Amino acid sequence: GAVVSQHPSWVICKSGTSVKIECRSLDFQATTMFWYRQFPKQSLMLMATSNEGSKATYEQGVEKDKFLINHASLTLSTLTVTSAHPEDSSFYICSAAVNYGYTFGSGTRLTVV
Amino acid sequence: AQTVTQSQPEMSVQEAETVTLSCTYDTSESDYYLFWYKQPPSRQMILVIRQEAYKQQNATENRFSVNFQKAAKSFSLKISDSQLGDAAMYFCAYRGIQGAQKLVFGQGTRLTINP
């Protein structure tokens, strides 16, 4: 149980366009979703915390206007990378708190060309 | 702010042998949770084991066990009878009881299993 489905698993987009990443909790209600960014061979860096029905809380140094997070329902949270540039290329992972810890999406590899 | 430190960027072990991954953390809280997560090449994060700070008994999950030393703020992971499928990045993580339930990750340790 407690599965988070993340889509797409990979995406290539042109510089200047926007990309939306979705995370759905399949068999539970996720009141809080965490969004991470991971560079190659590095650890996960928390970008923001989203709570259903309220504004996301961004970590210091994360541009909230570039990384738009929406958590409109208890089963869906989205991250939109707006006006993407090559430096936004990375691996993005969502995570939700569950009883025994956390469950993670399978990640999205974003490449901006 | 809480910090988690993994001082071993890479470790290797022979198949069937035992390996210990180190983790230390810094916190002023008295109650919290500690985790070890595994990230194989697929990059899916998998929970290996978790420990509640109020429990003195070390957590164990099959071949995986921890050595939790609360006073020393140390939380090492021991993998017994290492298997090829254990090869992965391993992340130690901390979560406080109070606040936003954020996980704080260590830098990770890349574990290689030699056949």
CA distances to A10, A42, B29, B34, B54 from B96, rounded to whole Å, are 32, 23, 7, 9, 12
Encode pLDDT of B36-70 as tens digits: 999 999 999 999 999 999 998 999 999 999 999 99
Q: At A113, is the pLDDT very low, low, confident or very high (cuts 50, 70, 90)?
A: very high
Question: What is the C-alpha separation between A45 and A27, in angstroms, rounded?
Answer: 26
Residue B23 is predicted with a pLDDT of: 98
Q: At B16, is the pLDDT very low, low, confident or very high (cuts 50, 70, 90)?
A: very high
Average pLDDT, chain A: 93
Which chain A residues have a beta carbon less than 8 Å from that of B108?
A: 42-43
Which chain A residues have a beta carbon less than 8 Å from that of B107?
A: 42-43
Give me the residue label for tokens 């997070």.
A69
Task: Give yes or no for residue B113 having a pLDDT over 90.
Answer: yes
Residue B57 is predicted with a pLDDT of: 94
Q: Cβ neighbours of residue A87 under 8 Å, at least 6 residues apart?
A: A112
Residue B51 is predicted with a pLDDT of: 96
Which chain A residues have a beta carbon less than 8 Å from that of B50?
A: 100-101
Q: Does A22 touch chain B (CB under 8 A)?
A: no
Encode pLDDT of A27-70 as tens digits: 899 889 999 999 988 999 999 999 888 889 999 999 999 999 99
Range from A18-32, A68-82, B7-21 that averages highest in pLDDT? B7-21
Here the tokens at position B82 are 């290492």
* Residue pair B35/B96 in contact by the 8 Å Cβ criterion: no
Residue contacts between A and B (CB atoms, under 8 Å): 43
Q: Does A44 touch chain B (CB under 8 A)?
A: yes
Task: Give yes or no for residue A1 having a pLDDT over 80.
Answer: no
Residue in chain A closest to B5 (alpha carbons) equals A43
Secondary structure of residue A76 in the 3-state scheme: strand
Which residues 24-83 of chain B have a CB within 8 Å of chain A? 33, 35, 42-45, 47, 50
